[in-house]
A and B are shown apart, each in its own frame.
Chain A
Amino acid sequence: MNMANPSSSAPIAVMRSVPFSLERLTIVAGNTFLEAVRQKLFNFLLLLAIALVASAQLFREFNFGSSELKFISDFGFGAMVFFGSTLTIAATAQLFFSEIENRTALTILAKPIWRTEFIFGKFLGVFAVVGVFCALTTLLLLALLYHRETALMAANPESFESGRLIHYGDLVLLGVLQWLKFGVLAAITLLIASFSNTNLYTVVMGFFVLVICHLQYLARDAYGQVAALPLRLLVQLLGYVFPNFQVFNLADQIGIGAGIDAMVFMRVAGYALIYIAVIGGLAVYSFRNREI
């Protein structure tokens, strides 16, 4: 025991003897999930998304024919992306900083729990919440599209000569890809939160990074056209540092009968999972040295 600093060595000694525990991680994740679903923000955004998807029924008034399915799927995925991104960033920041501000983080971390378990537990809790959001909006969209396609097939059979246009299995896969994208976004937000001092800064930076990740492909395209070497290196670096969120943008054509290739799905899913692991690991590393 270190007499000069008696308080520091005992927890370290305990920590060295405490192995990493999936059970503790699961408890943190479960508590985070419950806290998130009780929040008004989650319910508000979920209701808004459901309302927007359901309001796609109004497209019947325009008599678009079979193309109505395209409008419904575009609005449905648009609502999922917009509200899902907002929920991911806001919920991650809120759930992290509520522990800091309420000092519950001090209480938790004083126990034999790894900071890694804490961070990954937080991430998994948010990931589960966003998963519920994506599942509910995808199911609603699926039901709406199926219902309208059935009605349109009866009204305009000539437009459905080859059978149903929508590939419903692929629609579910697209919902999964959006969930994985939100997972990457949650990991990024958690990384920012791990060194940020305020909730507001984390949310604002989270939205900036979201926009950058959606526009990252412009840096890739511009890389070959920039003459000055330092600027070209900077542009190339930007293209490598930020993940490409556009690669998840495969839902545009689902409403007019296009599907998704299994290999493309596997690549994009693998891309997301690797980024989640790397960024999550960086968040853990950053949080380890944080003063709470």
Chain B
Amino acid sequence: MAILLLAVTGAVLRPFEEPAWQVVRAQQPALKLDSLQGALGQGLTVGLLGGFRAIVADFFWIKTNSVWEDNDLPATQTFIKLVTAIDPRPLYFWQNGSRMIAYDMPNWRITEAGGYDTVPPAEQRRIDEEQATVALNYLREAFGYHPDAPLLHVEIANVYLNRLKDTASAAAAYRQAAEQPGAPYYAARIYPELLRKLGRNAEAYAWLKQLYPTLPKAADPAKGVSEFQVDSAMASVVLERIRELERELNVPQSEVFRP
């Protein structure tokens, strides 16, 4: 009788509970259990299934930091992938994991191979490119969970710029970052600077002209514009760069940008 009453209660409450359950489900991406079970064991797997993904991922991120401090490349790479497989929601894991892969691991490999004085530059470059490719693939995987995240495009841009020395790809990535909702102001400023480095001054000029009107010039609490946002936007710096480009491009006075 108790089981029957509980079953009836559950059935009656199901339509009431279902909308709330869908909200909870929507916040939890699918768990790739097959890839995790071997690494975690049964106890932690039950913990993951039981709704403790966030805290299990946090524990493993702390472990990642621990093996990263030991310069243990295989363990660091494994834990980075494990953490984002357990809980792909925090952007923080993807950003910092990609930085470990792109910036720290080449240094560890070169050091292990004899150091920067011993390893030939061509070999160093090969290692940099290899790790950068791994980092880029890792970041692209993150878009499956964070399709509109401007900071992921920024990370991709930085890998192209700092590790692969590919200014054109970095510029394209910064542009994609700037076009996402909630993008940091610096992404929209760095893109035209990279265009200038590539000699594409006219494109940079056009971009800055369309950017400047969108930037906050003064704080307006009523519209949610803070002093910090005004400082970050650096509208005056953008205007300076427009003027520089007008001189470089010999823009006639009648056609200069008027803010």
Contacts and interface: CB of A to CB of B under 8 A. Distances in A.
A158 B182 CA distance: 13
Interface in A213-232: 214-215, 217-218
Given A253-B89, A256-B90, A268-B20, A242 B10 contact: yes
Contacts of A270: 16
Interface in B13-38: 13-14, 16-17, 19-21, 23-24, 27-28
A241 B7 contact: yes
Interface in B34-67: 46, 49-55, 58, 62, 65
A113 interface: no
Interface of A: 62, 64-65, 67, 70-71, 74-75, 77-78, 81, 157-158, 161, 191, 211, 214-215, 217-218, 237, 239-247, 249-250, 252-253, 256, 258, 261, 263-264, 267-268, 270-271, 274-275, 278-279, 282, 285-286
B226 interface: yes
Closest 3 CB pairs of A and B: A240-B10, A214-B50, A67-B92
Binding site secondary structure of chain A: helix
A215 B9 contact: no
Given A256-B89, A271-B20, A279-B6, 12 more contacts: A67-B92, A75-B55, A78-B54, A158-B232, A161-B226, A161-B232, A215-B50, A247-B17, A247-B20, A249-B24, A271-B13, A275-B13
Nearest to A72: B58
Contacts of A237: 3, 7
Contacts of A215: 46, 49-50
A243 B63 CA distance: 34
B5 interface: yes
B169 interface: no
A65 B62 CA distance: 14
A67 B10 contact: no
A64 B65 CA distance: 10
Interface string B224-235: 001011001000
B24 A240 contact: no
Interface string B143-159: 00000000000000000
B6 A247 contact: no
Contacts of B23: 250, 261, 264
Contact of A267 (B8, B17, B62, B90): B17
A64 B55 contact: no
A264 B20 contact: yes
Given A64-B92, A247-B20, A161 B6 contact: no
B54 A74 contact: yes
Contact of B24 (A246, A263, A275, A282): A246
A77 B175 CA distance: 39
B122 interface: no
Nearest to B23: A264
A192 to B, nearest CB: 11
Contacts of B92: 64-65, 67, 70
A108 to B, nearest CB: 25
12 contacts: A74-B58, A78-B55, A81-B52, A161-B228, A211-B50, A240-B6, A242-B10, A246-B51, A250-B27, A267-B16, A267-B17, A274-B9
